[in-house]
Structure 1
Amino acid sequence: MKYDNIIEGKFISRLNRFVAYVCVDGVQEKVHVKNTGRLKELLVGGATVYLQKHDDPKRSTALSLIAVKKVGQIVNIDSQAPNKAMHEWLAACMQITGGSAAAGGSAGGSTAPGPTAPCPVAFAGNATPAAILRPGEKITAIRPEYTYKGSRFDFLIETDQRKILMEVKGVTLEENGTALFPDAPTDRGVRHIMELCGSKEDGYSPVIAFVIQMDGVRQFSPNAKTHGAFADALVSAHEQGVRIIALDCEVTVDSIVIRDFVDVALEQA
């Protein structure tokens, strides 16, 4: 996915989960933080940040903080980016496997506009459909924000063989080459894992996809130090047959594209 109107600034401080102060061309600006997570290792005073400028006069802030430079590496922090990048990747997978390109949609509506629609993104690395599809399996429809038993999941991926129920988690925390999730306790995340486990009884093939909003990591692990219950639930889900994948991203100041799979180490970090 691409951003437009990107400018650079220096991080000053965070007022609350939604607002921060940033210096842009010597002027202090109040900006919207597009991630309510803690981000303590990223949002430090003096850090180089990247902001999207908005022309909407109805907005309370004209700038949104979308990325941070950490030790020379750009980390995307936009909490909406993982789902958008995943949708683009799934659409590319759809064409690679012989289906139609996917477009936007909502729960219950098909997202296949036709066989001549262009592939929206080229693969940035080795993240091919093989990890989530069976040999010869074709994606026939992608349904974002799919409702299952009263809960909303990020994607229902329909193929010519089955229905894949996918939940996407964005990852911005990295320690010593290991990407970690969550960076704060998430009871909602635990509930989603339990519901995905139960979906197998209704014939779904559940997948949890961790989209790491940076590149260069060696592996992904659940962050048991922050939320042991989430780590335990993830291990249990794996044992019950839920597919767990992690993908890193090629990130620039104005783009994020899924790049490659990374190893998943479920021993609690």
Structure 2
Amino acid sequence: MKYPEPLTEAILLKRYKRFLVDVRLADGSEITLHCPNTGSMKNCLYPGKQVWFSTSDNPKRKYASTWELAEDDNGNLIGINTGRANALAEEAIASGLIKELSHYSSIRREVKYGSENSRIDLLLSADNSPDCYIEVKSCTLLEGKQGFFPDAVSARGQKHLRELMEMVRLGHRAVLLFVVQHQGIKAVAPADHIDAQYGILLRQAIDVGVEVLAYGCEMDNEGLILSIPLAFAADKPEKSA
């Protein structure tokens, strides 16, 4: 996925009102960007560090620029724009970069499914194969050397796990795909310490046949490519004595 133009660099000042972020440009001036991330952004906010943003030529936008990348204290890049996760996944599947999903001939987006009034992120089809229902989740929470999902309690994420389990019971293939937009994350695990119920449901989903995949992104100020297979650790950590 290429940006229309290379991103512009700035220094992060603060995020506020959830969807706004102030940055300082190279000439010392300050502007406000749109923050396209509805999550807590835990461990993604580093005031004083570099960020990168895109700019739209749409005159109707109140804030013309959108925050795209951040840098953490160790120099890792973080993809802030969670709205790009589905497109990254679709592009990677269509390009054959996700080998587990490479044999499908049709990709559809936002198809209604399940008994809880959901829309599947991606629905893959092929002759002589069950349909494959894919829920895409953007993972950016790094703690130590481990990536975790979710970064806040997620009733919506829990619903999606129930829907995926239902698809398996109906004879379809179901996949939970973590799109990891953080260069420091080398493996992903359920964030039991943040949303214990999500961890319980995820392990139940795996037990009934839902597959879990995690892929990381190559990223720079020109674009993102979802191409790096990562480990997924389903085992719940043992409590220390």
Is TM more than 0.5 here? yes
Deviation at 1:214, TM superposition (A): 2.6
| 1:55 match | 57
Deviation at 1:267, TM superposition (A): 2.3
Report the AA paired with residue 76 of structure 1. G
| 1:144 match | 109
The answer to whether the Cα contact below 8 Å between 1:49 and 1:65 also exists between their aligned partners in 2 is yes
The correspondence for 2:194, drawn from 215, 220, 226, is 226
Segments of 5+ residues of structure 2 without an aligned counterpart are none
**Separation in structure 2 between the aligned mates of residue 262 and residue 44 of structure 1, nearest angstrom:** 25
The answer to whether the Cα contact below 8 Å between 2:107 and 2:125 also exists between their aligned partners in 1 is yes
**Separation in structure 2 between the aligned mates of residue 140 and residue 57 of structure 1, nearest angstrom:** 38
| 1:81 match | 84
**Separation in structure 1 between the aligned mates of residue 214 and residue 11 of structure 2, nearest angstrom:** 30
Verify: 1:35 aligned to 2:37, yes or no: yes
Query: Could you say what secondary structure the match of 1:39 adopts?
Result: coil
**Separation in structure 1 between the aligned mates of residue 24 and residue 198 of structure 2, nearest angstrom:** 37
| 2:174 match | 206
Query: Could you say what secondary structure the match of 2:161 adopts?
Result: helix
**Separation in structure 2 between the aligned mates of residue 9 and residue 244 of structure 1, nearest angstrom:** 36
Pairs within 5 Å for 1:117-136: 123=97, 128-129=98-99, 131-132=100-101
* Cα shift readout 1:90-146 (whole Å, capped 9, x = no counterpart): 1112xxxxxxxxxxxxxxxxxxxxxxxxxxxxx4xxxx42x346xxxx312111111
| 1:3 match | 3
TM-score (norm 1): 0.82
Query: Could you say what secondary structure the match of 1:169 adopts?
Result: strand
Query: Could you say what secondary structure the match of 1:82 adopts?
Result: helix
| 2:13 match | 12
The correspondence for 1:180, drawn from 128, 148, 152, is 148
**Separation in structure 1 between the aligned mates of residue 222 and residue 233 of structure 2, nearest angstrom:** 30
Report the AA paired with residue 239 of structure 1. D
**Separation in structure 2 between the aligned mates of residue 148 and residue 42 of structure 1, nearest angstrom:** 33
**Separation in structure 1 between the aligned mates of residue 63 and residue 168 of structure 2, nearest angstrom:** 44
Report the AA paired with residue 155 of structure 1. L
Report the AA paired with residue 80 of structure 1. G
Report the AA paired with residue 44 of structure 1. Y
The answer to whether the Cα contact below 8 Å between 1:178 and 1:217 also exists between their aligned partners in 2 is yes
TM-score (norm 2): 0.91
Deviation at 1:216, TM superposition (A): 4.6
| 2:126 match | 159
* Cα shift readout 1:197-219 (whole Å, capped 9, x = no counterpart): 01123221110000101335331
Q: Where do 4+ consecutive residues of structure 1 move more than 4 Å?
A: none
**Separation in structure 1 between the aligned mates of residue 37 and residue 196 of structure 2, nearest angstrom:** 22
| 2:94 match | 91
Report the AA paired with residue 4 of structure 1. P
CA-based RMSD of the aligned residues comes to 1.5
The percent of aligned pairs where both chains have the same amino acid is: 29
- The size of the alignment, in residue pairs, is 231
Deviation at 1:239, TM superposition (A): 0.6
Deviation at 1:18, TM superposition (A): 0.6
Query: Could you say what secondary structure the match of 2:156 adopts?
Result: helix
Cα distance change, pair 132–139 in 1 and its aligned pair in 2 (3 A): closer
**Separation in structure 2 between the aligned mates of residue 225 and residue 148 of structure 1, nearest angstrom:** 30
